[in-house]
Chains A and B, each alone.
Chain A
């Protein structure tokens, strides 16, 4: 297994280079440059200045030279500085945004999984019952509700009309003057709506997967056998059926790991949360190449790592899967 992991890690390197190459190409294709902000409406653009800055940062060089320079810096873990007027190091910019996005997304993922699996199992074991019908309706509502719309409705209800929860941001203005426990509550109350909205859509999808997968499994012979042996129903479902039904869900978990650091631009914008999604969008609009690329490198690396972990996790939940350095997984 260790050998398998190592092999995959080595193979990931050319893949990563390929990803960054294409990304680098694509962002350069977009019209406009990082120093267009120097175009002032009263004075007109100062072409000399933009040209000079482009030279300073090597943006006047042909594409492959620029890419090579960037790559040789990045292998030394030099992510460079932002092209924005604040010129802050890329890693500092990402570093201050990453924790909150990670925290929100992990929280959201935990909620989705802890709720969706029991809901899916329950509606599969009681197929066509009232509970199943209600969850089906709930699921389709969840699929059909746009994030931003639900967010605004909840903000109006809980933030404006009832005044139970804060509307946006992460902390109240007088956060610094609060006691420790009040600070914690303040933070949690700010997270309540964004996490609820983000979880709602995902919950719907995942519980549906779980239900489907469970339905397939409980029709299998070995489940019949387990029942025929006289095992209690909770054991049949919990031990024999659930473990097999979880396999596709693990795949989904693996696929959702890279999303953890991506951040949701819609949720972050509406709730004014300074996370990775907002940083990425602002950087794209500003053509802030170092930040865009730094972001992409981190997201791409984590995606590859997450895929690897998902594959390894298969081995844990499915004894049929063996890792071998010779034969690739089926």
Chain B
């Protein structure tokens, strides 16, 4: 009886295994045979590119979304008048050229004449004016209105010439027109009624970009197909893009190993250790470039202890940045000396640096009145109070938690006691940052394309809903920030932002820690990828898969 049951079980197991084998074979058949006779490198159209995305998109009108997944998708469906080139400079897109007046007050765009919306209508100056009106309409829920408020007037000189007039010179003028252009013939009513979010366009968008929208299955995938009428003849090459939404980084990694996705961003440990074997290196190319985001330790400058510049400088000396980069992102990062990303035009390395030196740190703290008064190794002030404070950071970010822990250890060595608290993001923002109830915070800032950081550093920007929560105030920086945003000439701005970095390096309102690297891997069958300061996806439309290596069918 028992033997019979065992036999039955085994039979069942075999069935399951057979069924599974059938599935495997079938799936293998989908994979085109790899070209063994040497690869054919001629650019070819077709194939499907599978991009793993950890978050779902929130909408398909990028002008009213602010998450990165929606923008990544939106950038391929829509075009702005200008776009960033490989060196992060503004370059022509569906505007073929532009001209600033001498006083920076008028900006004239010449539009391309062969640009069509995905439904076949021509793109004209009317659409530019409409997009401007949509952005400044108070009913439009956009986070980018500030970019358009300085505009005095937008006029169409002819169907393919647009003149923008500013009341005052506005540094971000050109870049603000990188905002996706919206189709007037489809959205005018929705904008007037203040119902842009509910417009069909938000679920089934029509743009002018290299890819047309195909479908969005919430939580599952977004599919785009190549726009055959794109204004650049013969582009894009890749026929279909699928954004697979996979909320778990571990699963994305396994899908990569099983060749289920073609591109994903890795964590430092995955990049450095877990993908360091021949089969993976054969199937994928790894890339790395500095991310546009830095991590910092910021101090509440309203707190008398941190208001003393020497204390902040002492902490800068006490923290070993290269140890931090090694320990937190396995060396895949660059030391930050200020709020600008190395390699961009605003960045300068000619600033004061703080080498790792506990001795100098102790000396600076002693000068500020903090010494070890009773030989217990803890620094105290004249009143005998020990130097101890809390470092807060947001929950769920292991990297920042590790940063806080390493800093804690280093500060302990110079006699400063710290506690670490991780708090859910919204609570951290509301209960601590906005109310300025904190000692020190480990967080990150994204550095925008434009170096204007008025909102972060200007002394007027320290209200509860504003970004200078650390209450930094330096009249010279204030003046420079105002100067930097009031001209459209890049050469004049360079000196301004270099000077700001020098002052910030001296003042150390934050200890600027590091810029981590972005670590994408892309299937090795894809050609045409080149790492530049802008990263890798600035030229996505030039990427292609040689015919012999194409893996999937595409329309």
A-side residues, CB < 8 A to B, are 30-32, 35-47, 49, 52-53, 81, 84-88, 93, 96-97, 152, 155-156, 158-160, 162-170, 172-174, 177, 182, 185-186, 189, 268-272, 274-275, 278-279, 282, 287
Contacts and interface: CB of A to CB of B under 8 A. Distances in A.
A49 B446 CA distance: 22
B143 interface: yes
Given A31-B429, A164-B23, A167-B251, A49 B260 contact: no
Given A41-B467, A170-B220, A185-B19, 6 more contacts: A36-B426, A36-B429, A38-B142, A43-B147, A45-B465, A269-B251
Contacts of A271: 251
Given A46-B143, A174-B552, A272 B30 contact: no
A86 B20 contact: no
19 contacts: A31-B426, A31-B427, A32-B426, A40-B143, A43-B143, A44-B146, A46-B143, A85-B58, A87-B197, A87-B198, A96-B218, A159-B254, A164-B23, A167-B258, A168-B251, A169-B244, A173-B552, A174-B552, A272-B248
A189 B23 contact: yes
Nearest to A53: B141
Given A167-B255, A269-B248, A85 B197 contact: yes
B154 interface: no
Nearest to B425: A32
B337 to A, nearest CB: 20
Given A38-B141, A160-B254, A174-B552, A85 B64 contact: yes
Interface of B: 17, 19-24, 26-28, 30, 48, 50, 56, 58-61, 64-67, 70, 138, 141-147, 197-198, 202-203, 217-221, 242, 244-248, 250-251, 254-255, 257-258, 260, 424-427, 429-431, 445-446, 448, 450, 455, 461, 465-467, 552-553
A271 B250 CA distance: 10
A169 B553 CA distance: 19
Given A32-B430, A164-B21, A269-B248, A38 B66 contact: yes
A189 B64 CA distance: 39
Contacts of B247: 268-269, 272, 278
Nearest to A286: B58
Contacts, number: 173
B20 A37 contact: no
B67 A270 contact: no
Contacts of B143: 37-40, 43, 46, 49
Nearest to A83: B197
Given A52-B138, A274-B245, A282-B56, A42 B251 contact: no
Contacts of B67: 37
Nearest to A266: B248
A85 B23 contact: no
A93 B455 contact: no
A297 B109 CA distance: 53
Contacts of B64: 85
Contacts of B242: 173
B23 A168 contact: no
Given A44-B467, A86-B58, A163 B426 contact: no
Contact of A272 (B244, B448, B461, B552): B244
B64 to A, nearest CB: 5
A41 B258 contact: no
B260 A167 contact: yes
A97 B219 contact: yes
